[in-house]
Amino acid sequence: MIGPLVVAGVAVESDVALRQLSVRDSKKLSPGRREALAPEIEKISRHELIVVPAEDIDIMRAEMTLNEFEVKLFASIIEKLHPDTAYVDAVDVDEIEFKRAILRQLPFDVEVISQHEADDLFPVVSAASILAKVRRDREVRSIEAELGEPIGSGYPSDPVTVAFLERWIKEKGGLPPHTRASWDTAKRLLGDARIRKLDEFGGGRG
């Protein structure tokens, strides 16, 4: 909800070295472990990152769904790395449709393995998820320094993030910079604050 969307791709000839590093789904690793693994992954792979700021996400969401946008980002990473086989973490409910959508965006043939929770199944996807998470965490810490107060992880499920947004909206009357205004939680918090304001204003006659 706060901060950029980061998509990463990692390309290796063999995943043996990644297995030796014991890479796992980034969500199952501590921040310190992710930070330690990221440079090791970069040393043994070709890799690409795309960082999409919140305001650009909102612009794209006005034109397409988040799934459609992510298809374009995934295809862009695959096009840059040009692998023979691409393993992708399917963000669509339909894994096969997600694969087909990516293939429609690519100017060359590639075998696409599209699976849910691929970041837990394939070391190369685990490695990509680690690079993406490390970069996003750094971006969020940079936003936190800019705004001058704790903002949590930036995810809608984080109580620190939600509390920060509620406080900011109450004090400033709008969303802070780097917030994805198209996200449902951001819209709801803004709407709730406006309703409260109207309630406080009140009205009546005697």
Give the pLDDT of residue 53. Answer: 98
**Greater pLDDT, 104 or 205:** 104
DSSP letters along the chain, please? -BS-EEEEEEE-S-SHHHHHTT---GGGS-HHHHHHHHHHHHHTSEEEEEEE-HHHHHHHHTTS-HHHHHHHHHHHHHHHH--SEEEEE--SSSHHHHHHHHHHH-SS--EEEEETTHHHH-HHHHHHHHHHHHHHHHHHHHHHHHHTS--TTS-TT-HHHHHHHHHHHHHHSSPPTTB-TTSHHHHHHHHHHHHHHHHHH-----
202: left (phi over 0), alpha (psi -120 to 50) or beta: left
Please say if the pLDDT value at position 205 is more than 50. Answer: no
Dihedral, CA of residue 140, residue 3, residue 35 and residue 92, to nearest 10: 160
Please say if the pLDDT value at position 206 is more than 80. Answer: no
Q: Using one digit for the tens of pLDDT, what is the confidence trace for 42-79?
A: 999 999 999 999 999 999 999 999 999 999 999 999 99
Give the pLDDT of residue 100. Answer: 98
Give the pLDDT of residue 174. Answer: 93
Please state, rounded to an integer, the average pLDDT across all residues of the chain. Answer: 93
Give the pLDDT of residue 192. Answer: 81
**Greater pLDDT, 204 or 7:** 7
Model-level pTM?
0.91
| Distance between CA atoms of residues 122 and 88, nearest Å | 9
| Distance between CA atoms of residues 68 and 72, nearest Å | 7
| Distance between CA atoms of residues 132 and 139, nearest Å | 11
User: What percent of the chain clears pLDDT 90, i.e. is strictly above it?
Assistant: 90
Could you tell me which residues come within 8 angstroms of residue 62 by beta carbon, excluding any fewer than 6 positions away?
Answer: 182
42: left (phi over 0), alpha (psi -120 to 50) or beta: alpha
Give the pLDDT of residue 197. Answer: 58
Q: Using one digit for the tens of pLDDT, what is the confidence trace for 181-199?
A: 999 999 999 888 776 655 5
Q: Using one digit for the tens of pLDDT, what is the confidence trace for 85-115?
A: 999 999 999 999 999 999 999 999 999 999 9
Give the pLDDT of residue 198. Answer: 52
Domains of the chain: 5-144 (3.30.420.10), 147-201 (1.10.10.460)
Q: Tell me whether strands 85-89 and 5-11 are parallel, antiparallel or unpaired.
A: unpaired
Distances (CA, A) of 66 to 38, 45, 117: 26, 28, 18
User: Look-up: residue for tokens 């919140």?
Assistant: 54
